Every structure is written in structure tokens, then in C-alpha cells.
Amino acid sequence: MTESSTTPAGGPAGKAGTPAAAPGPAGPHRRGPVVAALMLGMGLAAIDGTIVSTAVPQIVGDLGGLAVFSWLFSGYLLAVTVTLPVYGKLSDTFGRKPVLIAGVVLFLIGSLLCAAAWNMASLIAFRVVQGLGGGALQGTIQTIAADLYPLRERPRIQAKLSSVWAASSVAGPAAGGLLAGYADWRWIFLINLPVGAVALWLIVRHLREPVRTTPRGPVRIDWAGALAIFATGALLLTALVQGGVAWPWLSAPSLGLLAGSAVLGAVTVLVERRAAEPIIPGWVWRRRTISAVNLALGALGLLMVAPTVFLPTYAQSVLGLGPIAAGFVLSVMTLSWPISAAFSNRVYGRIGFRLTAVIGISLALLLLLAFPFLPFPGEPWQPALLMLLLGAALGLFQLPLIVGVQSTVPYEERGTTTASVLFCRQVGQSVGAALFGAVANGVLAARLGGGDLDTLSRALDAPDSLTAGAMDGLRHAVDAAVDYVFVGAAAAAALALLVLLTLAPRRFPVLEERERRSAEG
């Protein structure tokens, strides 16, 4: 390992309520059931982000509420995102196991309530409950994976989790359509119960954590900070998700939500500075390694909107593919990503975390810039090849940063650090959806004389209603809009590259290497 072995600045030592020593990696006989539980939990969190999409017609037909159905997705996303920092801090304070158990239970309660929903308002509220549990699943699972495996072996478990996430996200719409079409949409949520119950049993029975020292005084939980973070995130993400969709960007609701989120953000900073045990400690941003990784993965969340949101529309409208074939063009990225991530340790073990990530994001930048040069209308294998290569490049970029930043902090800070990384990635994704949606709408409006994504969707659903010339013009407009979105994604990749080159240290201060060398000496 070529990374530096210096201790991260500002790390606490012997803090009350933290373990006396970092836990050693679990043996293989103990890891297996725990890893199975982590994969089941990750699959649940991932699939529920997309499984509802294809069942919307059945849900709306049963419950009504067409005007607000988008909150079935937005509410879940909001709850997951804004609770990530809270669960990260709680897992560092009370341990991973109780937080994960609470998250699974809350997720299952939310699923059961969703299946029993009697109108759209109740279903949206229960989706928020699901998201509150999903936030615990996402952050805590990633943290436990780092706890279980030493540095050299972490790419294996991270690649497994990435594979589960990718496969579940891609399979979600298909599974939702099948359940809604051949059974009932309520089974979309009921199917979570047996899977979650198995995961919960495995966690309770097999997950072991180090013995934690007894606190010298009462444990202080920064509830004011948690509430401030939740309120700030909720207002900001609502503005980003609904702006340009439910109301114009320059309307009173958008401006009011953005202004309110700015005010609450300032209040949150003041509250966190005065808190004895803040939810988001200042050291998360004072340490160069963590702040650089947070910003870089925030840019990753932003650029990922281009392939995941806009590529399927491009494949159907420009290439003329059906939904299944269009999904395949995107899914090839989910094949190469985990494979690349699994082998990334052979690269960063030789040249370091930062340089490996720089190589990955540089390749991604070139591939994103290549997309606008694809011929019109082109062949399906052309964007599919770009997505295959993009997945490999991003596997080299993301995983070394996550593994690297987790390895620079002790056990009692790993939950907070992991949650901050995932939080920034989620916020980046929300910002990207809003920003690139505005870009695409602007291009379409210019090309179609006032058209937007809703008009496009209706036209694509009924192509026979358009003349051949109108359909050709529509395809050219979509092609131009998606080209601009991919240029924007390339700009996000360039931003991530700039952050790594200017802010990230050349060698990550790997704490585990220091501990190992001290033991050997």
C-alpha cells in the first residue's frame, strides 16, 4: 500500500461511549450471514426507489391523486437523503446494529402501511416512512461493510453491494410492472416483508459488534441539529425536485423554498457549532480528504443523472427502441461498474487512491464528451458501448474514494464519514435532476416552439398522432437536448477532476496502515 500512514488531524481519542479499540475483521464463518443480510437490505433500499414507477397507472386508477403522484418518488428520496447524516452520527454513538435494526423495522412498517394505503395522500405519507427506514439502510450497510473487511478486501464487498444496487435499480421497474399487471400494486410493498424479515433475522442473530465502553455521563443527542438538517434538506430538495415541474423556477414557491432553505442552512451551521455532539461535525469539512471526497462524489451524483434519467428517453425516441431494449442500453453500465470496482484494489494498491480516481474520472470525462458526437440516429450498440466503458471508468472513480475515505477515520467516526459521502452524492443527484431537467426543457422549447418533457412524453406514447416530418423534428430535438445534458455531465466530471487535483491530498492518510505498522513494530 502506497498511501500515507499519518493520523487524520483532529481525530478524537478515548471519547466516551465509543469502543475501546477498533474492531478486527470478522472471520469468514461470521461474515457470510451478515453479508447476506447487507445485500438483502441494500436490494430493498435500491429496488424501492424505482419499483413504483411502472405501477403508477394502476395506483392512480385505484387511489386517484394524479396531480401529486410524483411525490411517491420525491417523498421517498427526500426522507432517505435528509436522514443519512442523522443515522451516520447515531451509528457512531450507539453502534451500527441497533441503528440498522431500527431502520429495517421502520422500512418494513412503512411497506406494510403503503400496502394498506386508502388514498394518494396516505400512500405518500407512508412512502416517507419507508424512506426514513431506507436512509438507515443505505448509510449503515456501507459502514458495516467497511467494519467487516480490512482495507485490502473491501473492494470485494463493495463490488457485491454495487452489483446488488445496480441490479435492483434496473429490475425495479420491470418487477413493479409485473406485480401491478398480474397481481395487485399493493404486492409491490408486501413483497418487502418476507425479504426484510430474513435480513432482520440474520442481523439480529449474526452481527456482532465490539464491546463499547460505558459513557461517563448521559449520551447527548443533537436533536436540534437533526431537526435543522432535516428541515433544511427537505426545503432544498423540495425546491429542486418540484421546481420547473409543479411550478416555474422563478415563481413564488420556488424562490420561497430556496430562500427558506438558505436561512435554515445558516441556522443549522449555528446550531451545529454550539452542539456538544453535532450531527455533522466540523471536522467533516475541515479535513481535506473527507471534504474532497464529499465534493467529488457530489459531482458524481450530478453527472449520473445524464445516463440514468435521459438515456432511456434517447434510446426510445431517437433510436426507436422499445422499453426493454432501451433499458439494456443503460444496464450494460451496471455490468462493467462492479467488475471494474472489484479489480480497482489492484490499481490503487500500486498507485494510490487519488491517482486511481483521477484516472477513472478522466476517462469518464472523455466518454461523456464523446456522446454528442454519436451519429444521428445511429445504432444502439454505439451508446451501449459508451455506457459499458463509462461504467468501468466510474467503478475506478467511486470505489477507491469510498474505501479510501473510510480508511482514514477510526471506527467511531466511520458512520458519520460514510453518511456525509452518501448525503453529498444524493444531493448532487437531486441538483442534477433539477439542473439538467431545466437544460433539456430549454432546448426542447427552443427546438419545438414551446414544447417540454411532458409534451414529448405524450407524443412518444402516441407516435401515430404525428406526421413523419413532425416525428423527425421531435427526434432531432430530443437528440440535441440529450447532447446538451451530456455536455453538462462532462462539466460535472471536470469539476470532480478539479477537486481531486486541487483539494484532495496526493496520498490519503490511511489510519489502518498506521495501526498495522505500529503492531508490527
Mean pLDDT, residues 115-144 taken together: 89
pLDDT > 50? residue 129: yes
Task: Locate 505 and state its grid cell.
Answer: 491530498
Return the pLDDT at 10: 40
d(CA 29, CA 416): 28
Closest CA to 209 of 146, 148, 142: 148
Higher pLDDT, 282 or 483: 483
d(CA 157, CA 438): 37
DSSP character string of 6-68:
PPPTT--SS-TTSBSSPPPPPPHHHHHHHHHHHHHHHHHHHHTTTTTGGGHHHHHHHH--GGG
| pLDDT > 90: percent of the chain | 21
When mean pLDDT is compared over 68-72, 381-385, 452-456, the highest value belongs to 381-385
Mean pLDDT, residues 340-347 taken together: 84
Mean pLDDT, residues 189-202 taken together: 91
DSSP character string of 381-436:
HHHHHHHHHHHHHHHHHHHHHHHHHHTTS-HHHHHHHHHHHHHHHHHHHHHHHHHH
Residue 52's pLDDT band (boundaries 50, 70, 90)?
confident
d(CA 421, CA 127): 24
Return the pLDDT at 461: 54
Q: Where is average pLDDT lowest: 34-43, 84-93, 156-165?
A: 156-165
